[in-house]
Structure 1
Amino acid sequence: MDGVFILSGTNWLDQMVRELESTDAKYTEEGMKERINAEKKLEIFPCLEFGDPGIYERMKKLPSRRIILTHLSPHLLPPSILQSKAKILVLVWNPKDTSVSYYHFYNNMPVLPSFASWDENFAAFMNGKLAWGSYFDCLVEWNKYLNHERIMMISYEQHKEDQILGMKRIATAFGFSLCEEDFPRIAKQTRVVGNWRDLFSKAQNEEMDRKFEDCLGGTKLAAKMKYDVYCKA
């Protein structure tokens, strides 16, 4: 499967990749690049785990290259993906901001049960009682693939510090050619924010710190997320 998979944080990353791809395609169509647009065009496929059973057959009929979105952990993806030519872009976010994102996502998505309160959401998040299971387990799994040759792993925290540099790395990895002035424009349209401090109690903050240390303390993935910088009260 020759495509691009985006895992976790799909709304923001999907928007960014779409902007990068559409800008690249515009230049190709205008004849400013030598590559043929038909060979480069990325078909956008909706979230892999949503929809009717026929979604997989429709996915197979899309020509390569494709952007396929999913929140699924590695063990839930077909093993062939890691053995194919597919490039995988994994976005990780510190669990505190992720838990807040889940809270709003669940309450705004009609097909998912809403939470009566933040405390109810926090308990479900900490116990892995969400549609995609434990976020901590997911991070532990992806940490094993950190050095895989076809997997590019990025963090929200990296993009907070230098969004333009991060986008340039993504563009290079997936063969998008943009002009220098395009990157500040796309960065402005896809700004990253974090607001976990607005909802966490002192006890919840300490509980999350202990959980993170137990699951990911000392790992390369933890360093990439800069937990001590962005998640300490």
Structure 2
Amino acid sequence: MDEKPDIYRRELVDVQGVPLFWSIAEEWSQVESFEARPDDLLISTYPKSGTTWVSEILDLIYNNGDAEKCIELLKKMQPPRLVKTHLPVQLLPSSFWKNNCKMVYVARNAKDVAVSYYYFYQMAKIHPEAGTWEEFLDKFMTGKVAFGSWYDHVKGWWEKRNDYRIFYLFYEDMKEDPKHEIQKLLQFLEKDLSEETVDKILYHSSFNVMKQNPSTNYTTVPDFDMNHSVSPFMRKGISGDWKNQFTVAQYERFEKDYEKKMKGSTLRFRSEI
């Protein structure tokens, strides 16, 4: 194994005020100059907000196979391409706005994201060390995690939806009534699928089926990149799991801080369903 161990657990690099992985920072000029096409569909999320789930649904809708974010592969993909990003709105390559691409943004409540991200940090070694849950929660609240502040991320995309073709989807709504949300997605994408096809999509994108699917559960990724014995990539996929992790004191501190950071925004989340 000739992988250099120093590619793991490296500190994040500041790119225009947002902490990103060193590997993205090194290729930043390539990211910035990425040329979107008018028929590209962008899937944007803050990490651990249902990215793989919604990507699978969109893949199934388009029946378009793989949505690799690797730029070289993207160039070879047949249109429409599904492009995934975790970038906050201000760092998105300008060609997406210029071409008025359709975008699907998936948002999940902050407490569940924080918990899921903590376990992801531990198993995916591209991240710096997570520290204790208490330490990680602090990092999350202050935006010192990969892709920066959850608060800025969800608010930034929420505001942009007024001016661009952005379908803002809530993870909790998807959990509660996936069929209804998929039908809304189809409308946004101007796609007409039979009831039977929609039911197929519902089945293949269900958590239990995806958890068994090597192309969505990341079990084919080698252990030295992602250690599934620490925590599986697809862990629980539920709403309200934060209750098993937060202490009363942490919850109270988090809520107070949340109120301050989300003040003035019309964005509303459900912490459980």
Q: TM-score higher than 0.5 here?
A: yes
What is the CA-CA distance between 1:202 and the residue it aligns to? 1.0
Give CA-to-partner distance per residue, 1:81-106, whole Å, 9 cap, x none. 11214110000111001111211222
Residue of structure 2 aligned with 1:198, choices 233, 239, 244: 244
1: distance between equivalents of 2:189 and 2:94?
22
Give CA-to-partner distance per residue, 1:28-60, whole Å, 9 cap, x none. xxxxxxxxxxxxxx464324xxxxxxx435433
CA contact (8 A) 2:55 2:67 kept: no
Which amino acid counterpart does residue 193 of structure 1 have in structure 2?
Answer: I
What is the 5 A alignment of 1:1-233? 1=37, 2-8=39-45, 9=49, 10-22=51-63, 42=64, 44-47=66-69, 55-188=70-203, 189-191=205-207, 192-194=237-239, 195-222=241-268, 225-226=269-270, 230=272
**CA 1:205–1:185 in structure 2 vs 1: closer, same or farther (change >3 Å)?**
farther
- Where structure 2 has 5 or more consecutive residues not aligned to the other structure, the ranges are 1-36, 208-236
The runs of at least 4 aligned residues of structure 1 exceeding 6 Å deviation read: none
CA RMSD of aligned residues (A): 2.3
Which amino acid counterpart does residue 139 of structure 1 have in structure 2?
Answer: V
2: distance between equivalents of 1:59 and 1:135?
27
Which amino acid counterpart does residue 265 of structure 2 have in structure 1?
Answer: T
Residue 69 of structure 1 aligns to a residue in which SS?
strand
1: distance between equivalents of 2:100 and 2:157?
18
1: distance between equivalents of 2:72 and 2:196?
39
What is the CA-CA distance between 1:120 and the residue it aligns to? 2.3
2: distance between equivalents of 1:12 and 1:117?
28
90-99 or 177-186, which deviates more: 177-186
Give CA-to-partner distance per residue, 1:145-171, whole Å, 9 cap, x none. 132341110101222332111011112
- Higher helix content, 1 or 2: 1
2: distance between equivalents of 1:71 and 1:78?
12
TM-score (norm 1): 0.76
What is the CA-CA distance between 1:218 and the residue it aligns to? 5.0
Which amino acid counterpart does residue 41 of structure 2 have in structure 1?
Answer: V
**CA 1:97–1:89 in structure 2 vs 1: closer, same or farther (change >3 Å)?**
same
Which amino acid counterpart does residue 201 of structure 1 have in structure 2?
Answer: T
**CA 1:203–1:165 in structure 2 vs 1: closer, same or farther (change >3 Å)?**
same
CA contact (8 A) 1:3 1:87 kept: yes
CA contact (8 A) 1:146 1:221 kept: no
2: distance between equivalents of 1:94 and 1:196?
10
CA contact (8 A) 1:43 1:67 kept: no
What is the CA-CA distance between 1:114 and the residue it aligns to? 3.9
Which amino acid counterpart does residue 226 of structure 1 have in structure 2?
Answer: R
Residue 267 of structure 2 aligns to a residue in which SS?
helix
- Where structure 1 has 5 or more consecutive residues not aligned to the other structure, the ranges are 23-41, 48-54
1: distance between equivalents of 2:83 and 2:187?
19
CA contact (8 A) 1:15 1:190 kept: no
CA contact (8 A) 1:3 1:85 kept: no
Residue 147 of structure 1 aligns to a residue in which SS?
coil
Query: Alignment length, in residue pairs?
Result: 201
CA contact (8 A) 1:96 1:196 kept: yes
